[in-house]
Amino acid sequence: MRRSFALLAGALLVGALAAPAPASAASADGDGDGGSGFTIKDPRITESSGLAASRLHPGIYWTHNDSGDGPYVYAVDSRTGRTVATVTLRGIGTPRDVEAISIGPGNQIYLGDIGDNLGGKWPYVWIYKLPEPKVLKDQAVRATQYVVKYSDGPRNAESLVVHPQTGRVYIIDKNEDGGHLYEGPAALSTTGTNIFKPVAVVDLWATDAAFSPDGRQLAVRGYFGGIAYDWNGGHIKRQGRLEVPLQRQGESVTYTVDGSKLLYGSEGVDSPVQAEDVPYRASDGAKSPSGKGGTHSGADGGSGMEADYKVGALVLALGLAVVFGLKKLVRRGPR
């Protein structure tokens, strides 16, 4: 996917300065449900761009690569970090830029082939749906393909979520200045184009999102921050800032099945999936007893983008300084 120069500079600095993840967050020997984090050990998974906790198979997390891999999803065991099943999607075209995964009612897996690295070149994108296998083994599963367009024109997106009660599908577009929550039709259709319409502003450069298991909360993450929203019947209301760990290229987020933790994933070989407590309860904006999230920022109507990118802005500034310094040294050459 396309990255701005500033983002690449920030990523360079993060990779150089970020402290190693705690053993509980990066260990491949997990706690059984992923709540302590784990490391993805499959060498084929180099660009994990989405993450979804299985309700059918406790401790299993579904993920997929970004573009260039193929019609595959991988079941990763959080106890070991190893892939226990590779599922090949049948009955669809060639995936273009798969960026998100979510599990809806009836253990249906949804994949969002919604990336657009050129920021609006594709007139339509796709969603694939397949039943989660009851037996974890390498297999091919027939999937359903849906054509998607946005009511206000093409755009890049990396976040797709399915409400766990209603089954309605939502997409959040990816924009450095903040994006929108797009609502799909009540039921997706295979016979026509599914139009997604903007219904709410999301003050984040969003790379992924997830519904809580009860459907009452929406977590949205970016590269350097995140926001917790009270779902509020679809009229989202900001609760506050999420404590998103610094990662090389933070691309994914999911709740654990019990809803007590948020797991944050990153692209890269042997990428860590790091766990954080869910800091807010749904509906009241209060911190949970075990929460350790940030202050209740944004509830007073202030700028969410400003609050969430203080750390990110500092990292980018330092990263740019490092890169420009290196370029200057390269131009000067040895003496």
Task: Give the mean model confidence (pLDDT) for residues 185-210.
Answer: 97
DSSP string, 279-292: -B-TTT-PBPTT--
**286 pLDDT above the threshold of 90:** no
**79 pLDDT above the threshold of 70:** yes
Q: What is the pLDDT of residue 20?
A: 39
CA trace torsion 79, 81, 84, 90 (10° rounding): 130
Sheet holding 139-142, edge to edge: 50-53, 60-64, 72-77, 82-90, 139-142
| DSSP-assigned beta bridge partners for residue 180 | 201
**313 pLDDT above the threshold of 70:** no
Nearest CA-CA partner of 145 in 212, 206, 181, 95: 95
Residue 182, CB half-sphere, CA atoms under 13 Å: how many? 25
Its pTM surpasses 0.75: yes
Write out pLDDT tens, residues 297-309: 333 334 444 444 4
Phi first, then psi: give them for residue 209, nearest 5 degrees: -155, 165
**122 pLDDT above the threshold of 80:** yes
| DSSP-assigned beta bridge partners for residue 205 | none
- Identify the residue whose tokens are 């990118």: 309
Mean pLDDT of the chain: 82
Task: Give the mean model confidence (pLDDT) for residues 197-219.
Answer: 97
Write out pLDDT tens, residues 145-173: 999 999 999 999 999 999 999 999 999 99
Task: Give the mean model confidence (pLDDT) for residues 55-78.
Answer: 96
Q: Return d(Cα 124, Cα 139) in angstroms, integer.
A: 29
Sign of the CA dihedral 294, 300, 303, 306?
negative
Nearest CA-CA partner of 219 in 288, 266, 172: 172
Q: Return d(Cα 326, Cα 323) in angstroms, integer.
A: 5
Task: Give the mean model confidence (pLDDT) for residues 135-152.
Answer: 98
113 — pLDDT class (breaks 50, 70, 90): very high
Nearest CA-CA partner of 78 in 102, 61, 57: 61
**260 pLDDT above the threshold of 90:** yes
Tokens of 30: 């997990």
Phi first, then psi: give them for residue 172, nearest 5 degrees: -115, 125
CA distances from 131 to 107, 122, 142, 224, 288 (A): 6, 27, 8, 33, 33
Task: Give the mean model confidence (pLDDT) for residues 72-100.
Answer: 97
Q: What is the pLDDT of residue 68?
A: 83
